[in-house]
Amino acid sequence: MRPPKAKSAAPRIAHYASARANQLALAAMRAEILGCVRCEALVRCRSRVVPGAGATPAAIAFVGLAPGRLGADRTGIPFTGDRSGVLLRRMIGHARLGRVFITNLVRCNPRDALGRNRDPAPDEIANCRPHLEAELALARPRIVACLGRVSWRAMAGPDVPFDPRARLTIERGGTILYAMYHPAYVNRGAYPLKTYARDFIRLRRLAAPRRRRLALDVAISCSGAAG
Ligand code: SF4
Position 226 scores a pLDDT of: 33
Ligand 1, atom 6: closest residue by C-alpha: 108
Q: Where do the domains of the chain lie, and which CATH numbers do they carry? A: 23-224 (3.40.470.10)
Q: Give yes or no for residue 124 CB within 6 A of ligand 1.
A: yes
Q: Give yes or no for residue 106 CB within 6 A of ligand 1.
A: yes
Band of pLDDT at residue 217, cut at 50, 70 and 90: low
Of 198, 196, 197, 160, nearest to 177 by C-alpha is 160
pTM for the complete prediction?
A: 0.88
143, 95 in Cβ contact below 8 A?
A: no
Residue 196 CA to residue 225 CA, distance in Å, equals 15
Q: Give yes or no for residue 48 CB within 6 A of ligand 1.
A: no
Weakest-pLDDT range from 72-81, 168-177, 193-202? 168-177
Q: Give yes or no for residue 134 CB within 6 A of ligand 1.
A: no
